[in-house]
């Protein structure tokens, strides 16, 4: 941010609203309120009109304390509301860059109509004129062949072709242009000097652009990575590798899958400030014009090199700027994907078929997610967005898609239900073995569930025991979500224990891992036990780096070992005292390191999503009913520390020792271990007939299910009372009255 000097001419942008002793500024991403005496604010608005210098403004405010006024104005400059009237470009740019606060959410049909309107506008109500045939030249053929290609092959592009495109965009040509003294044009001051001349015109010969090439994978003679192109000598291109990791640039795209196997992208960036030194606010026009010249040259050079291109403006400028390591004055303006043309694969087509997709990205308070985060929901749905996370954008989308289908499958009970009393069923699974409430819970006024009655006609769905294949019937209340029977329900469920996969066994495995994770958390939560700490010195270096990034935002991050008796379960707990915010997540896996990575990703996502919110949603414990409500509760100053007891443990265990003690290894060994504990695994198939994906809901009766809402914890499950003592979590058997009733922080 520029500091005021003798040439700085202050002006408010945007103009403030004055309300009593406050100035209110509506910025592109937030509303800023500053406290200031009303008389001073009125005087400032009058003086800071862009015509006076900073020193003149200070002089005319001599009725106030000069030191305090100077400090106040410098603060307004640093906050970006008091600007130099000769350079308002960065203010304009804040409304242009992504993600924008002001946008039109157009449907596909509305977009088609806009294109039709644009094409017809050139044909209607225009008088006919004389027609002339354009000669067929090499250049005209290149223009005819230029088109946008959106699907690429994985064939490697030679480095020579990439260099040719870069040089065409902004390279130095051999001879500078010197105007003869008798030339009728006015001779520019700089035109008598031998400065470099480039392949495009530049206002004032300032050449305020930079070009980068990001290679998504190795090409012939160049490794993958991000390169800055430099042009110092005629017909030459210098490449300086900024990093060998292209993923930050990939994640800067609003749609992480837009690459479609492209070899890479050329990014054109520009400095409004550099141009504004001569042209002031006209640089808002000249910089995009020059970038357009460069982009067209790149496209035409690509045609000559038999390489296909497409311009993509859907990227997050802040993220791309960080990826390219640009100086403060530079902004990325446009990207050009390039590669050889390909065909969209059935896999990619199926991945997005029937989905609405959004991507989370950008930088919030200097923090950027270290992975791609995709959101998906089925087309036409008005429900919540599912989420997928991975360093690989395609995998992130696959996860989001699977979760969207998972949620949809959990709600599709039509045609699956069978009405009967439990006594009438030949092979029925007792609902109390899946979830059970304590008799005293039913005495609470407003408790939403009824005790199980084996004589009552209820709805059931067919399932099976995995190992034996024996068919059984499972209560619909335990299976579908959302689900409202025509009787007072025995329970309600969430999507926990539901999974989708191309392979049925892997879907079941994923569902069981989630059940194990949530059982472990619920056990520790209900008995109010502290969870053993995993020291950061035993964590992988990349994980420590991610945790340190959260610490820089004011979060205290603790990694804990939730493992009970099946697989490693790792908890990540994060809290920001200044923001009155707590979040946590756990994951289970055969490898504690993988479980840690998954849990940390969820916490990072929660932190990133929470940042930028203007305020917490007010809620009290008794009004917690849904998953999101749990998160809202832990954003309240009064409640955000109610889960701190989870950190009250003196036990310390290294990540490596957890793996050493829990060598399950694979799915078959896990099944054997479950059976060895006297438990059984049941599955209900939720798959759609017209889908190749397998959707399942798994049940392991005896494990503690996770519940959401106030006062509906499964306090009738026997495991809550028997396991803590046998596993050394507490010295005596817990009693009902000792169990936690406050809603947990899981979301």
Tens digits of residue pLDDT in 302-318: 999 999 999 999 888 88
Q: Which helix (H) or strand (E) holds 525?
A: helix 504-527
Phi and psi based region of residue 63 (left: phi greater than 0; alpha: psi -120 to 50; beta: remaining): alpha
Task: Give the residue carrying structure tokens 């849990």.
Answer: 599
Tens digits of residue pLDDT in 123-165: 666 677 888 999 999 999 999 999 999 889 989 999 999 999 9
Q: Identify the CATH number of the domain defined by range 347-411.
A: 3.30.160
Topology, domain 10-85: Outer Surface Protein A; domain 3 (3.90.930)
The pLDDT confidence band at residue 615, using thresholds 50, 70 and 90, is low
pTM of the entire predicted model: 0.69
The answer to whether 217 and 229 have CB atoms below 8 angstroms apart is: no
| Domain 142-342: CATH class, spelled out | alpha beta
Strands 31-35 and 82-84: what pairing?
A: unpaired
Domain 526-673 coded CATH 3.40.50.10890: no
Two structure tokens written together for 655: 């990540």
Residues listed for the chain: 747
Q: Classify 136 as helix, strand or coil.
A: coil
The answer to whether 567 and 512 have CB atoms below 8 angstroms apart is: no
Q: Name the H helices within 621-702.
A: 627-633, 655-661, 667-676
Phi, psi for 696 (deg, rounded to 5): -135, 155
Question: CA 294, CA 274: separation in Å to the nearest integer?
Answer: 18
CA 264 to chain centre: 22
pLDDT at 520 exceeding the cut of 90: yes
CA 257 to chain centre: 14
Strands (E), 593-734: 682-685, 694-699
Tens digits of residue pLDDT in 619-663: 999 999 999 999 999 999 999 999 999 999 999 999 999 988 888
Give mean pLDDT, residues 402-413: 88
Q: If DSSP states are collapsed to H, E and C, what string results for 368-431?
A: CCCCEEEEEEECCCCCCCEEEEECCHHHHHHHHHHHHHHHHHHHCCCCCEEEECHHHCCCECCH
Question: CA 41, CA 696: separation in Å to the nearest integer?
Answer: 63
Q: Which helix (H) or strand (E) holds 124?
A: none
Which residues face 701 on adjacent strands?
Answer: 703
Q: Which helix (H) or strand (E) holds 693?
A: none
Two structure tokens written together for 688: 């759609």
Task: Give the residue carrying structure tokens 């994907």.
Answer: 337
Question: CA 2, CA 432: separation in Å to the nearest integer?
Answer: 67
Tens digits of residue pLDDT in 530-573: 999 999 999 999 999 999 999 999 999 999 999 999 999 999 99
- Residues with Cβ < 8 Å from 221, sequence gap 6 or more? 158, 159, 160
Which residues face 363 on adjacent strands?
Answer: none
Q: Where are the domains of the chain?
A: 10-85, 142-342, 347-411, 526-673
The answer to whether 70 and 58 have CB atoms below 8 angstroms apart is: yes
pLDDT at 101 exceeding the cut of 80: no
Question: CA 328, CA 492: separation in Å to the nearest integer?
Answer: 53
Nearest to 717 by CA among 586, 527, 545, 512: 527
Domains 347-411 and 526-673 share a fold: yes
Return the pLDDT at 117. Answer: 85
The answer to whether 720 and 739 have CB atoms below 8 angstroms apart is: yes
In the DSSP assignment, the letter for residue 494 is: -
């Amino acid at each position: 941010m520029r500091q005021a000097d003798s040439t700085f001419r202050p002006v408010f942008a945007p103009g403030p609203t004055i309300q009593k002793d406050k100035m209110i500024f509506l910025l592109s991403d937030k509303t800023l309120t500053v406290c200031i005496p009303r008389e001073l604010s009125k005087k400032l608005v009058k003086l800071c009109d862009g015509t006076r210098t900073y020193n003149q403004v200070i002089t005319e405010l001599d009725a106030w304390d000069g030191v305090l006024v100077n400090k106040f104005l410098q603060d307004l400059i640093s906050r970006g509301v008091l600007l130099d009237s000769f350079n308002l470009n960065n203010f304009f740019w804040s409304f242009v860059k992504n993600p924008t606060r002001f946008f039109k959410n157009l449907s596909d049909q509305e977009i088609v109509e806009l294109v039709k309107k644009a094409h017809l506008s050139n044909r209607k109500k225009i008088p006919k004129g004389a027609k002339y045939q354009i000669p067929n030249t090499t250049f005209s053929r290149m223009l005819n062949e230029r088109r946008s290609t959106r699907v690429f092959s994985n064939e490697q592009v030679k480095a020579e072709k990439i260099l040719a495109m870069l040089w065409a965009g902004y390279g130095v040509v051999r001879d500078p242009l010197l105007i003869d003294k008798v030339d009728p044009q006015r001779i520019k001051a700089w035109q008598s000097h031998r400065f470099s001349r480039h392949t495009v015109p530049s206002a004032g010969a300032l050449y305020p652009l930079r070009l980068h090439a990001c290679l998504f994978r190795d090409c012939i003679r160049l490794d993958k990575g991000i390169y800055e192109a430099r042009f110092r000598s005629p017909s030459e291109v210098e490449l300086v590798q900024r990093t060998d990791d292209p993923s930050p640039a990939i994640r800067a795209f609003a749609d992480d899958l837009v690459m479609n196997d492209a070899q890479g992208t050329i990014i054109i960036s520009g400095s409004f400030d550099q141009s504004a030194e001569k042209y002031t606010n006209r640089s808002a026009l000249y910089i995009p014009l020059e970038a357009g010249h460069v982009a067209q040259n790149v496209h035409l050079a690509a045609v000559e090199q038999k390489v296909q291109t497409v311009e993509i403006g859907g990227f997050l400028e802040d993220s791309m700027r960080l990826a390219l390591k640009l100086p403060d004055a530079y902004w990325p303006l446009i990207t050009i994907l390039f590669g050889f043309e390909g065909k969209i694969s059935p896999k990619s087509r199926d991945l997005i078929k029937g989905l609405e997709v959004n991507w989370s990205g950008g930088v919030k308070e200097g923090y950027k997610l270290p992975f791609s985060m995709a959101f998906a929901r089925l087309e036409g749905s008005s429900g919540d967005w599912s989420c997928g996370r991975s360093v690989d954008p395609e995998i992130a989308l696959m996860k989001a898609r699977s979760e969207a289908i998972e949620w949809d499958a959990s709600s599709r009970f039509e045609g699956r239900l069978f009405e009967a009393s439990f006594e009438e069923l030949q092979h029925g699974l007792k609902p109390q073995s899946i979830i059970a409430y304590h008799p005293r819970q039913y005495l609470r006024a407003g408790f939403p569930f009824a005790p199980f009655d084996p004589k009552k006609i209820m709805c059931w769905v067919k399932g099976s025991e995995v190992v034996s294949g024996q068919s059984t019937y499972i209560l619909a209340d335990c299976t579908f979500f959302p689900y409202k029977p025509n009787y007072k329900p025995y329970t309600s469920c969430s999507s926990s224990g539901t999974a989708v996969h191309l392979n049925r066994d892997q879907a079941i495995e994923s569902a069981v891992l989630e059940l194990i994770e949530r059982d472990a958390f619920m056990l520790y939560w209900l008995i109010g036990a502290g969870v053993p700490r995993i020291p950061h010195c035993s964590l992988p270096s990349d994980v420590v780096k991610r945790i340190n990034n959260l610490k820089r935002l004011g979060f205290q991050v603790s990694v804990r070992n939730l493992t009970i008796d099946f697989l490693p379960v790792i908890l990540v707990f994060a809290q920001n005292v200044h923001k009155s915010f707590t979040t946590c997540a756990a994951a289970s896996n055969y490898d504690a390191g993988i479980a840690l990575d998954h849990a940390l990703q969820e916490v990072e996502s929660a932190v990133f999503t929470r940042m930028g919110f203007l305020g917490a949603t007010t809620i009290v414990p008794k009004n917690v009913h849904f998953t999101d409500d749990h998160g809202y509760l832990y954003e309240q100053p009064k409640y955000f520390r109610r889960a701190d007891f989870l950190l009250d443990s003196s036990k310390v265990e290294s990540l490596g020792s957890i793996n050493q003690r829990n060598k399950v290894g694979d799915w078959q060994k896990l099944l054997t271990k479950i059976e060895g504990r006297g438990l059984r695994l049941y599955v209900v198939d939720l798959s759609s007939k017209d889908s190749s994906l397998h959707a399942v809901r798994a049940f392991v009766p005896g494990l503690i299910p996770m519940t959401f809402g106030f006062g509906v914890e499964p306090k009738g499950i026997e495991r809550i009372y028997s396991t803590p003592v046998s596993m050394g979590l507490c010295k005596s058997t817990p009693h009902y009255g000792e169990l936690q009733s406050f809603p947990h922080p899981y979301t």
